[in-house]
Amino acid sequence: MKGFHDKKKGFGITYDNTYLVNGARTPFGKLCGTLGQVSPTDLAIYASRAAIEKSGITGEDIDQLMYANIGQSSADSYFLPRHIGLYSGIPEGIPAVMLQRICGSGFETIIAGAEQIALNKAQSALCGGTENMTLSPTVSFGNRMGYPLGKIDFKDMLWEALNDTAAVPMGCTAENVAIKYGITKEEANAFAKQSIDRYMAANERGFFNGEVVTMNSTVFEAEGLNPRKVYLPRKTVDFSTDEHVRPTDLEAMAKLPSVFARDGVQNAANSSGIVDGAASVVVAKGDFIKTKGLKPLSRIVASATSALDPKLMGLGPVPSIRLLLEIAGLSLNDIGLIEINEAFAAQFLGCEKELGLDRNICNVNGGSIAMGHPLAATGTRLSLTISREMQARGVKYGIASACIGGGQGTAILFENCNI
């Protein structure tokens, strides 16, 4: 393990002998859809139990638990990571921690897990993120102190959270990127359609069957603890569908109004979807993998996190990918697959133009514009998806990255350890 830090470039680390074993995610439910009443904790338990099983181990084998949740949306959310561990078969004596780097949080859990392993504080870690955006609360700050006459004030936290009060709302950062790079609404719509088309093609060939857990109403139990009863809507059986995906055409997209700026490029169809879902992966040391006879999907080579002007938030992957390549001693030509989270079409296109990316190796199975962006889960989902696609294509190196609210970016470099 070797760390790097620079006040302008960011910070990063290279890892030795640390692997992403396998993982799983829930289907991503549309806003107010099938998963709308399932707490983020329970979504994570579904994903975590499946991730542990797919990795070929049991909960008893997990040494650390690092989990993320951005918009706390259940009454017991303070206990979220601990409850995930307790109801996923992880020993009672294993502590749990919640991490938060907004849209990079799913990546951050993997980075933290790998660092714990590098420090010999663990042989294995369960990492992931979960989000129920439907359940995001309406709040009244300060209600405990009462209200002046006629000044009762409530906030929709799902809406308010999209506004960076230090700079501009998240969607406006995409419009700023569009202005900087001369990106048109037509370009943004064309990219969004490509994301949807690629997702539908991947789904048709069964690609997502390898990562999506089938959900039913159930009861999660753990010895000596209260059972967690989870109910899906009546008559819902074997739920495994990413509900946000909507086939569309460019003509229909062109008719949609701009959302964040007058005559802007971003609309409802070329922005990431608001969805509910969770994703989990198991990260482990090489010695652990050999002892257990496991076949990991990828080796975690390095990670990097950078920061930039909050008003150009969407360009966050640019400095983090550049730093990642620098500390790994590679060039962009060495990378066979890239995943950059599609927060907004203009944001991806700005990164593409600045880095000079080859669209043919980017987001090849579609992205968040198609399937949605459950904030804390996305980084984990991207890491699992790219690791699986690297296996399918026989690609040696892949990078997964995301922009982060407030002006940050995180990227992780994966190596296909089976070629």
Pick from 45, 1, 15: nearest CA to 277:
45
Residue found under tokens 């030509």: 333
The CA-CA-CA angle for residues 279, 375, 321, to 5°, reads 90
Cα-to-chain-centroid distance, residue 372: 10
Element (H, E) at 322: helix 317-328
Number of neighbours of residue 310 by Cβ within 10 angstroms: 18
Residue 226: partners with Cβ closer than 8 Å, 6 or more residues away: none
Report how far residue 278's alpha carbon sits from residue 211's, in angstroms, rounded to the nearest whole number.
11
Exactly one of 172, 362, 403, 417 is catalytic; name it: 403
Strand residue runs (E) in 233-348: 275-285, 298-307, 337-340
Exactly one of 32, 103, 127, 172 is catalytic; name it: 103
Report how far residue 272's alpha carbon sits from residue 370's, in angstroms, rounded to the nearest whole number.
7
Report how far residue 71's alpha carbon sits from residue 43's, in angstroms, rounded to the nearest whole number.
14
The CA-CA-CA angle for residues 239, 243, 248, to 5°, reads 145
Strand residue runs (E) in 69-170: 96-99, 124-132, 138-139, 155-156
Contact 372, 274 (CB under 8 A): yes
Active site annotation includes 403: yes
Report how far residue 38's alpha carbon sits from residue 275's, in angstroms, rounded to the nearest whole number.
12
DSSP state of 313: G
Active site annotation includes 103: yes
Which tokens is 39 given?
A: 């707490």
Residues that are catalytic? 103, 403
